[in-house]
Amino acid sequence: MNTIALDASVVVGLEVLAALGLAWLCWRLGYRRNLIALRDISRAFIALAASAVMQLFDLTTFSAGDGALIDLGRSLAVWMYLGFMVLGAAELANNNLVTDKVRREAMFGAVLAALLTSGIGMIALHDAVAQDMIRNALRAGGTAVACLIIARVISKAPAPATMVLGASMVRVALTVVGTLATLRAVVAISHGFGAMTGTVEWQPLLTVEFLAHCALAIGLLVWLLDRDWALADASIMSAEHRAASDALTGLPNRTILMDRLDVAVAAARRNGTHVGVLYIDLDEFKEVNDRYGHLAGDDVLRMIGARLRHLLRASDTVGRIGGDEFVVISPYLRNAVDLEVVVAKVREALNHVVEHGGVNIDIDGSVGAALFPRDGDSPTALLAVSDSELYRDKHARLMRRTAARQTIRLA
């Protein structure tokens, strides 16, 4: 069976094209979706392509040029790549909160690291091969350290269930890159200081490591897009919740209440059960607003809504339909006795003291109840009966309060 062996320069050339392709893809998506992290990942792969170009110079006739300058360029490209990848990961974890100042400092650090890499290799040893090994060791060590930093940063990023694919690709790629970089650093140091002899064939390791870098970029890309879509979905769900809920209390509004009442009545008709509908109105709520202010009134409404939800069953629906009026839908009741139990719980929730600004505000309310199918066979009829019962209860309570006040004045 014939095999095709690609020349090292051809492999590196393909790496350049692949890096530039990924850079273009990340930049395009980052620009269209306004994701700064993708733009930095794009810059990282431009730097990686530049590093491969410098490696190509070493493998072709261009190597006759200034070797020290080419090596400096390669070191600069590698450190720029690592800097941009760390920035991209940090922006992924912090929702694009990396400032321009931090970005400039990271690039300055990459330039300084490149100068030190070339300088240390030339100063430490006089043998050209040993110098090259030391520079390779420094670049590989920097790559391994960058992988540890990215792994730590990524571990702090939110990763819901929808982001499993991107997160898994990133973790696997980081493991491969970090392992290969550490291996390159150990081999280079051993050759640089004479512990190992012979020729080192870097290209297979570099190619596998390049593919792992590509997988890392694709994983970050998938992770970022997943997060972008998750945020968009959350925004849509939040908008839908706001449209279906009362803005002050967070309870379902009239539209949702009617939908749930329709469902409850239909289910009770099929199953032969009962549905309770309770209409609630706070007593003398206008006096609360006039005496303590509208902020106090808002606190009262929020507290009453929270108490109703706490005291009633999970299957019950509590909604606010406007002003100081609430409605409770209580499905799966067996009889009128169950309805009276629900009414008692509602009265317990209403008979409450709300603290506002150090002042205790006494709250109470009136309740009207209707039972399906006893009082009506449709949601509209049930609401009408419960509304009528509410005003009957409110009138009776008002008469009792008036009589009590007259008794107190006479006494």
Residue 364, pLDDT score: 87
Q: How confident is the model at residue 2 (pLDDT cuts 50, 70, 90)?
A: very low
Domain locations in the chain as residue ranges: 8-243, 254-410
Determine contact, residues 329/261, Cβ cutoff 8 Å: yes
The DSSP bridge pattern shows strands 359-363 and 352-356 to be antiparallel
pLDDT in tens, 262-286: 999 998 998 889 999 999 999 888 8
Residue 375, pLDDT score: 93
pTM for this structure? 0.53
Residue 100, pLDDT score: 74
CATH classification of 254-410, choosing from 3.30.530.20, 3.40.50.1220, 3.40.50.300, 3.30.70.270? 3.30.70.270
Determine contact, residues 38/88, Cβ cutoff 8 Å: yes
From residue 13, how far is each of 8, 18, 20, 190, 237 by CA, in Å? 9, 9, 11, 29, 47
Give the C-alpha separation, 46 to 24, whole Å. Answer: 9
Residue 76: Cβ within 10 Å count: 21
Q: Does domain 8-243 have CATH number 1.20.1070?
A: yes
Residue 316, pLDDT score: 92
For residue 371, count CB atoms less than 10 angstroms from its CB and return exposed for 0-12, middle for 13-18, buried for 19 or more: buried
CA triplet 233, 239, 240: central angle to 5 degrees? 90
pLDDT in tens, 298-314: 989 999 999 998 888 88
Residue 65, pLDDT score: 44
The arithmetic mean of pLDDT across residues 68-77, rounded, is: 77
Could you give the 3-state DSSP secondary structure of residue 309?
Answer: helix
Determine contact, residues 276/369, Cβ cutoff 8 Å: yes
Determine contact, residues 256/319, Cβ cutoff 8 Å: yes
